[in-house]
């Protein structure tokens, strides 16, 4: 379980938010990381893993595919970020060029998408608000 996944679940829980995940080249470990956090079911709704080339979000296999170089990965976080401030929604997509073998690319993809999600979720709170939320939720 990563501290980033823990922070994502904590912020979603505090905000009353939920998370659903769609993965391809990773094969499911984003969902695994999130569900390894105690009480993740308060926020995690489920995941979908697609493997067909027409549905993939990048290339982790040993050779290029569909005109994309190995290590080309797209990660995204989307949702109603900023709802409290009256925003209609938001999110972000990042194109990555990762180095390494298949497993290294998959691990970095998981780390990158969790970091992006945390950044989007945390962008709404100041450090003091986070401390108060943590205290109200029993340190979770």
All domains of the chain in start order, with CATH: 3-132 (3.90.950.20)
pLDDT digits (tens, 9 = 90+) for 111-120: 999 999 999 8
Distance CA 84, CA 66 (A): 41
Residues 16-33 pLDDT 10s:
999 999 888 888 999 999
The model's confidence at residue 69, banded by pLDDT at 50, 70 and 90, is confident
Residue 110, SS3 per DSSP: helix
Instruction: Tell how strand 72-79 and strand 90-97 pair up.
Output: antiparallel
| pLDDT reported for residue 79 | 77
b/e code 21-49 from CB counts within 10 Å (16+ = b): bebbbbeebbbbbbbebeebeebbeebeb
- Tell me if 19 sits within 8 A of 45, measured CB to CB: yes
């Amino acid at each position: 379980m990563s501290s980033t996944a823990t922070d994502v679940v904590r912020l979603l829980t505090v905000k009353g938010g939920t998370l659903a995940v769609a993965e391809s080249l990773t094969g499911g470990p984003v969902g695994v990381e999130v569900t390894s956090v105690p009480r993740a079911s308060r926020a995690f709704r489920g995941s979908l893993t697609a493997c067909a080339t027409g549905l993939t979000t990048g290339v982790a296999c040993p050779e290029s595919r569909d005109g994309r170089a190995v290590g080309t990965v797209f990660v995204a976080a989307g949702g109603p970020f900023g709802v409290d401030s009256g925003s209609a929604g938001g999110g972000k997509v990042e194109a990555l060029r990762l180095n390494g073998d298949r497993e290294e690319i998959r691990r970095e993809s998981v780390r990158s998408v969790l970091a992006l999600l945390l950044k989007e979720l945390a962008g709404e709170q100041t450090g003091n608000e986070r401390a108060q939320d943590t205290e109200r939720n029993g340190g979770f």
